[in-house]
Amino acid sequence: MGMLKRIRTADRSHPADQFLHQGDHVHALVPAQGGLHPFTLLLIGVVALAGIVLTVDLPWVQISLISTTVFATVAVLSMSRYRLLALTDADIVVMRTRALRPAKPVELLERIERIEPFGIRGSGWGQIVVGSEKLWVHRRYHGQLDDADTRLAAAPRRLRSASSTAYRGTRAKKKIRNVGGRHR
């Protein structure tokens, strides 16, 4: 029974496949987070807990600390943007995900041609720039980003833009086809 279950889940494609082109060869799927540093919530919680413990005799201070912590937590969570990056041969496919399901994309945001290395800044949570967005990537995925940078440096320039050129050509055809409106 266990083996049958494993085989069935292995046959399934990844949910990100619906946002990729037919010929795309995905080297890595990397979850990322935009907005404030991911440890911001931890810092807010530690400061609030220390303040609550230190002000045991002042309940009005504790109430204000708790309400401020709740407000700050909601603000940080609402400012966070969750992304899944599919690293293909020549492009980065950026997909939007939800906070509790970072591996299941819900929307295709953009497809960006890879012309520059990521240049990870930071150690635990490294910051990269994808398009015009700054994203935080966990250390666990830094190796995959380094491998993508190595492949980018090794690829000839004409191969780097082949996938992106095909995408732009298809996109232009769709725009021309839809110029007349929906109802003909």
| pLDDT tens-place string over residues 99-147 | 888 889 999 999 999 888 888 888 889 999 998 899 999 999 999 999 9
Predicted confidence at residue 139, as pLDDT, reads 94
Per mean pLDDT, which range of 27-36, 78-87, 118-127, 156-165 is the poorest?
Answer: 156-165
Strand order in 133-138's β-sheet? Answer: 101-113, 91-98, 81-87, 28-34, 133-138, 125-130
Confidence band of 163 (pLDDT split at 50, 70, 90): low
Give the residues across from 86 on adjacent strands. 29, 93
- pTM (predicted TM-score): 0.72
Measured CA to CA, the distance from residue 164 to residue 113 in angstroms comes to 6
Confidence band of 76 (pLDDT split at 50, 70, 90): confident
Measured CA to CA, the distance from residue 133 to residue 95 in angstroms comes to 13
Predicted confidence at residue 4, as pLDDT, reads 34
DSSP state of 121: B
Predicted confidence at residue 119, as pLDDT, reads 85
Predicted confidence at residue 79, as pLDDT, reads 87
Confidence band of 165 (pLDDT split at 50, 70, 90): low
